[in-house]
Amino acid sequence: MNEQLVTCTALTKRYSSKTALTGVNLELGRGRIVGLLGPNGSGKTTLIKILCGLLQPTEGAVLVDGSPVGPYTKSIISYLPDRMYFADWMKATDLFDLFADFYADFDRTKALNMCASLGVTPSDRIKSMSKGTKEKVQLVMVMARKAQLYLLDEPIAGVDPAARDFILNTILTNYNEEGTVLLSTHLISDIETVLDEVVFLKDGSVTLHDGVDSIREREGKSVDALFREIFRAHNMEGGAF
Instruction: List 150's β-bridge partners, or say none.
Output: 78, 181
**Alpha carbon separation from 166 to 24, 161, 162, 221 (Å, rounded):** 33, 9, 6, 26
Local structure of 113: helix, strand or coil = helix
Rounded CA-CA distance 80/183 in Å is: 9
Rounded CA-CA distance 129/118 in Å is: 13
* Mode of pairing for the β-strands spanning 77-80 and 33-37: unpaired
% of the chain surpassing 70 pLDDT = 95
pLDDT attached to residue 43: 92
pLDDT attached to residue 234: 53
Local structure of 18: helix, strand or coil = coil
The region of weakest confidence among 30-34, 53-57, 82-86, 93-97 is 82-86
pLDDT attached to residue 235: 53
Q: Which of 89, 61, 73, 82 is nearest to 185 (CA)?
A: 82
pLDDT tens-digit map of 144-156: 999 999 999 988 7
Mean pLDDT throughout 4-12? 95
Task: Spell out the alpha helix ranges (H) of 22-91.
Answer: 44-51, 71-76
Q: How far is CA 60 from the centre of its chain?
A: 21
pLDDT attached to residue 239: 44
pLDDT tens-digit map of 217-235: 999 999 999 988 888 755 5
Rounded CA-CA distance 96/44 in Å is: 28
pLDDT tens-digit map of 76-133: 999 999 877 888 899 999 999 999 999 999 999 999 999 998 889 999 999 999 888 8
Q: Which residue has the higher pLDDT, 185 or 21?
A: 21
pLDDT attached to residue 238: 45
pLDDT averaged over every residue in the chain: 89
Q: Which of 133, 132, 131, 188 is nearest to 122 (CA)?
A: 133
The residues, any chain, with a CB within 8 Å of residue 120's CB and separated by 6 or more, are 92, 114, 129, 133, 136, 137, 140
pLDDT attached to residue 233: 56
